[in-house]
Amino acid sequence: MKNLFFTYSLLFSLLALGQSKISGVVKGGNSPLPFANLVLSPTKQTTVTDQDGNYVFASVPSGNYVLLASYTGFQFEKKKIVVKDSLDSTQDFNLRENNSLDEVVVTGTLKPVTRMESAVPVEVYKPTFFKKNPTANVFDALQNVNGVRPQLNCNICNTGDIHINGLEGPYTLVLIDGMPIVSGLSTVYGLSGIPNSLLERIEIVKGPASSLYGSEAVGGLINIITKNPKNAPVFSADSFVTDWGELNLDLGFKANVGKTASVLTGVNYFNYSNPIDNNNDNFTDVTLQSRISIFQKWNFNRKSNKLLSLAGRYFYEDRWGGELQWNKSFRGGDEVYGESIYTKRWELLGAYELPFKEKMLFTFSLTNHDQNSVYGDVPYLAQQRIGFGQLTWDKKINKHDMLFGTALRYQYYNDNTTATVAPDVNYIPSLFAQDEIAFNDNHKILLGARYDYNSNHGNIFTPRFAYKWKINDNNILRFNTGTGFRIVNLFTEEHAALTGAREVIVTEALKPERSINANLNYLKKIYTNNGTFIGIEASAWHTRFSNSIIPDYDTNPNQIIYKNLDGYAVTQGFSTNIDMVFTNGLKVILGGTYMDVTKTENQKKTQQILTEKFSATWAISYRINKLSLDVDYTGNVYGPMRLPLLGDLDPRKEYSPTWSIQNIQFTFDKIKNIEIYAGVKNLLNWTPNKGNPFIIARANDPFDKNVQFDASGNVQATADNPYALTFDPTYVYGPNQGIRTFFGLRYTMR
């Protein structure tokens, strides 16, 4: 018996000598991933990580293996391992987000649901996507999203808005954590003040969503979802500089307040104070800016585990553009031309889940926006306050997933223009409901309706219908239709109305715009045998507007005429996105859009100004593991747009050329918790002055002191003014900033 025991002990010892342990940690974006899956090939051994992302394979015999780590929403990663006698091996993974189709989204239906299961098509973009082309704010970051175009509205002050599928910025509703606080003045002046450091993700819905979100959600909506303090790093810093002299700094801090709450603080600072005039017109090519944004978000821990959060942001910006010799002593005068804008803004938003068995959520937001601007010698002083409260009840009964809600919006607006004789105060109460009916696993419809009462425009009703057909797990077809409405305030939404370059003519009391939309969306997932993933999404849409308000630059070159269109406007088109993830470290995101944006009046059909026929975007990334290096090549291309000219003699081109902005970036992440990145923006050195004699009309006479007019007020051609022009900075369709290099550093401490 003793001999038998000795023999077994010897055999066990010999086997143990020939076996080893493989262990490590799995992270995603430098954060531990609990319950990540690991597979050891060619054996059938599997394991999952613990709460801290750690894993262990014990008793692994000597030999050659392939270890695969995977986690939902991240690219899987393989590593080859050679196990030698009695030598343990450590293999760590840092998986990368793959923008897959399984994220949870809330924007389409105001309730959390996976993107694949949503009846409304929702596009999701995470910080990893925007890091491929680092920018100082959300406005610039959206330039590589298919069908979304940040549009500059002025060559001098560089204010802008966001176009979705060819529709002007005021048709796009921008939300922060589901709260409609980016509207009115902030549509033009506040978008550049939203720092990327706040982002958890951005959800985009293309097409009207007025049945849930009310006015302004006509062309689509962008929901900026901020980070949850619980998941944020203890400290993060991200800063970059460019050879133009731009400096951007993002700082983030997280703290736990005992067991009561967690708090996240974010600070963004941007400065550009180096006047550059590469097109030699004596005007700044890029607006000089100094801005700071401070954000804080609190999540409170309740015994019931129900939601309670509060967030606030303060934003201040001082920006100016104009003649190179301008300084603040010339502000508001007519000696040296400059456009100077001081913006002060604060926001408060919160969410409180009521302590009932039923799932009821109260959300609110308060904003105050103070604008102090001058455009040459034309002052524009404005104040806007918006209060918003909303209560929703989420209820499931059998196959019905219902949502009921009521909202109240308070709006105050006042400015120094003749259009605002007295402050405009408005209360808009709303009721809305939707019912998502699941007939079975494959067929689902969504019915929705919203009622608003506007004291100036009466009753407004917006219905909505959606149908989703899940053909199988990899093929989904969606159809959406609905109506929208938009109440226009020219002086908070139309920067061109404020520059003083053209006289503003409003020929009638403007009625709210109304629209009806239909959208067909197809989504397909492809998994190849070698592990490659391909996602394809295609959409076709048609939107018809009545009472459309489109600025008329054509009738009189010295005026902007606003009136309800005596006819109709149409935007229609087709877009597709292709997302490919290969096992060799290559990732490709391609997008293309073709659209037709026209207006028809007096049976005459014309292309609308500043709308391109086609556009494309791309982001091509390659990971070189041996060098711990990522290479990102991003870009966009836009087709010709019709541009606002000042008359038949204006020598500038009526249509823009096809143009493209392309960028490349290299990111090194070998050092723990640190990323070093550098690259080149606008590789082609493209600027809109190429092929044009000038961009800003009459830049040598910005106050029109030497312009001669006839008795009817028309500009006369003279030796000093052969093209019969007045000063005009609104001929703009792309950025004036040429090629530049950048260098940055990110640090994250968990």
Q: What is the chain's alpha carbon radius of gyration, rounded to the nearest angstrom?
A: 28
Q: Determine, yes or no, domain membership for 719.
A: yes
- Which residues, including other chains, have CB under 8 Å from residue 602's CB and lie 6 or more apart? 566, 567
Starting at the edge strand that comes first in sequence, how are the strands of the sheet with 63-70 ordered? 45-48, 37-41, 63-70, 77-83
Lowest mean pLDDT among 21-30, 108-117, 291-300, 643-652: 108-117
Mark which of 225, 247, 279 sits at the end of a domain. Answer: 225
**With 90 as the cut, is the pLDDT of residue 402 above it?**
yes
Identify the weakest region by mean pLDDT among 182-191, 481-490, 622-631.
182-191
pLDDT at 500 over 60: no
Q: What CATH number is associated with residue 634? A: 2.40.170.20
Whether the pLDDT of residue 471 is over 50: the answer is yes
Quick check: is 546 in a domain?
yes
How does pLDDT run across 183-198, given as a tens digit for each residue? Answer: 656 665 666 667 777 7
Q: Are residues 155 and 220 in the same domain?
A: yes
SS (H, E, C) 96-144: CECCCCCCEECCCCCCCEECCCCCCCCEEECHHHHHCCCCCCHHHHHHH
If you ran DSSP here, which 8-state letter would residue 608 be given? P
pLDDT tens track for 679-694:
999 999 999 988 899 9
Do the bridges between strand 199-206 and strand 179-182 make them parallel or antiparallel, or are there none, so unpaired?
Answer: unpaired
pLDDT of residue 12: 45
Range of the domain at 530: 226-749
| Top-confidence residue, 623 or 117 | 623
What is the per-residue pLDDT across 385-397, written as a single tens digit (0 to 9) for each? 989 999 999 999 9
Statement to judge: residues 213 and 230 lie in one domain: no
Domain co-membership, 521 together with 536: yes
Phi, psi angle pair for 231, to nearest 5°: -100, -5
Where residue 610 falls among pLDDT bands split at 50, 70, 90?
Answer: confident
- Judge if 161 and 25 occupy the same domain: no
Is residue 5 pLDDT above 60, yes or no? no
Which stretches of 144-196 are assigned E, i.e. beta strand? 148-152, 160-164, 172-176, 179-182
Q: Do residues 560 and 497 lie in contact, with contact meaning Cβ atoms separated by under 8 Å?
A: yes
Flag whether pLDDT at 657 surpasses 90: yes
pLDDT score for 187: 61
Q: Are 460 and 512 in contact (CB under 8 A)?
A: yes
Give residue 538's pLDDT band: very low, low, confident or very high (50, 70, 90).
very high
Point out which residues pair with 408 in neighbouring strands: 389, 429
End-to-end CA distance of the chain: 56
Q: Which has more pLDDT, 655 or 713?
A: 655
**77 and 125 share one domain:** no
* 639 vs 489, residue with greater confidence: 639
* Alpha-carbon gap, residue 271 to 288, rounded angstroms: 8
Structure confidence by residue, pLDDT tens digits, 205-219: 887 676 677 666 777
Residue 593: CB atoms within 10 A of its CB come to 25
Going by DSSP bridges, is the β-strand pair 629-638/614-624 parallel, antiparallel, or unpaired?
Answer: antiparallel
Give me the chain's average pLDDT, please.
85
Q: What does the pLDDT read at residue 100?
A: 52
For 231-280, the pLDDT digits (tens) are 788 899 999 999 999 999 999 999 988 888 999 998 999 999 999 999 99
430 and 569 housed in the same domain: yes
At which of 54, 78, 95 does a domain end? 95
Cis before 42? omega within 30: yes
One domain, residues 182 and 303: no
pLDDT cut 70: percent of the chain above it: 88
DSSP-assigned beta bridge partners for residue 527: 533
**Strand, coil or helix: 207:** coil
Q: Which two tokens stand for residue 683?
A: 């590789």
User: Are 234 and 137 part of one and the same domain?
Assistant: no
Q: Is 1 within a domain?
A: no
The pLDDT of residue 14: 44
Q: How many domains does the chain have?
A: 3
Which of the four pLDDT bands, split at 50, 70 and 90, describes residue 490?
low
List C-alpha distances in Å: 467 to 205, 258, 516.
16, 47, 17
Lowest-pLDDT range of 419-423, 425-429, 489-493, 639-643 = 489-493
Looking at residue 16, its pLDDT comes to 46
Is the pLDDT score of 104 beyond 70?
no
Q: Give all strands (DSSP E) within 547-628, no chain letters.
A: 559-562, 567-581, 586-601, 604-607, 614-624
- Residue 193 has a pLDDT of 66
Q: Are 460 and 454 in contact (CB under 8 A)?
A: yes
The answer on pLDDT for 81 being more than 50 is yes
Three-class secondary structure assignment of 281-330: CCECCCCEEEEEEEEEEEEECCCCCCCEEEEEEEEEEEEEEEECCCCHHH
Tokens of 130: 């925007």
| Contact of 219 with 244, CB cutoff 8 Å | no
In a domain, 8, yes or no: no
C-alpha separations of 281 from 156, 574, 645, 696 in Å: 12, 39, 18, 8
In a domain, residue 611? The reply is yes
Same domain for 479 and 562, yes or no, is: yes
Is the per-residue pLDDT at 325 higher than 90? yes
Predicted local distance difference test score (pLDDT) of residue 91: 87
Q: 303 and 436 share a domain?
A: yes
**Rounded Cα–Cα distance for residues 67 and 37 (Å):** 11
Q: What's the length of the chain?
A: 750
- Lowest pLDDT segment from 136-140, 141-145, 180-184, 487-491: 487-491
**CA dihedral sign of residues 413, 414, 417, 422:** positive
Cα 119 to Cα 109, 202, 205, 580, 616: the distances in Å are 8, 18, 12, 24, 26
Query: What is residue 547's DSSP assignment?
Result: S
